[in-house]
Amino acid sequence: MKTPRRAPLPNRVDPFAALTSVQARGLLMGNRGGRIHRDDRTLGARRWASKAWICCRLSFSGRHRTVWGNSYTELFFLDEPTSLAAGHRPCFECRRADAQAFADAWAGAHGLSASPLAPEMDAVLHVERIDGRAQRTHARPIATLPDGAFIVLPGEPDVAFAVRGTKLLRWSHDGYRDARPRLDTGDVTVLTPPRILAVLAAGYSPMWHDSAKA
C-alpha cells in the first residue's frame, strides 16, 4: 500500500503576494522578515514577521535548511519579477551584487546622493505593498510601465500579466504562457509597488524564468 503523498506547504508566492500550495518551486526563495508558520507547519493569520521582505538564492555557501523548521518561513518564487510584484527586494547577504544594483537604481530613480540602506527601502516598500492585510495596487498608464512590471487587465481580476517588451505574459506557477500584444494606451491596475517600478525603469535587470524568453 502506497503512503499518501503529503500536500506541499503553502510557501509559493504569486504576483498578488498570496501564499499558495503547489509542487513547483521556481528560481528563487525568500522570506518576510522571520517566522510566520506555526509549529505544525501551517499558516495562521500572519503573512509577515517584519518589513524586511527579501528574495534570495536557492543555495548559498553550502547551507542546508529544514523548510518551515524552527527558523524563518521559507518562501519560493517563479522568478524575480514575481517576487518584486509581491513587494520583495534582493537579499544583501546571498545576492549582494543584485541588492547593491537595486539600491543604486533606487538612488538614481529618486535623485538620492547615496544608495539607501535596506531598512530605509523596506519602510517605504511596506507602505506601498500593503493595504491592511491585502495587497495594495496602483493605477498607471500602461505605456509608462517598464519591463518586469506586473499588471491586471480589465475583466480579468484574478490573472496577472508581466510586461516584457511588446508583449504581456500570462503568469502561472509553472511559467509564463499565452503571450499577447501589449496595449498602447489606457490605465491598468499595477501589482508591482511604485518604488520598484522606478527601480526597474532606472535599469535594474531582474532574473526572469526561462519561459519568459520563449
Break the chain into its structural domains and give their ranges: 12-213
Q: Which three cell numbers stand for residue 98?
A: 543584485
Name the amino acid, one letter, at 31: N
Name the amino acid, one letter, at 51: K
- pLDDT exceeds cutoff 80 at 187: yes
User: What average pLDDT does the chain have?
Assistant: 93
- pLDDT exceeds cutoff 60 at 9: yes
| Whole-prediction pTM | 0.94
Give per-residue pLDDT as tens, 108-138: 999 999 999 999 999 999 999 999 989 999 9
Give per-residue pLDDT as tens, 17-42: 999 999 887 999 999 999 999 999 99
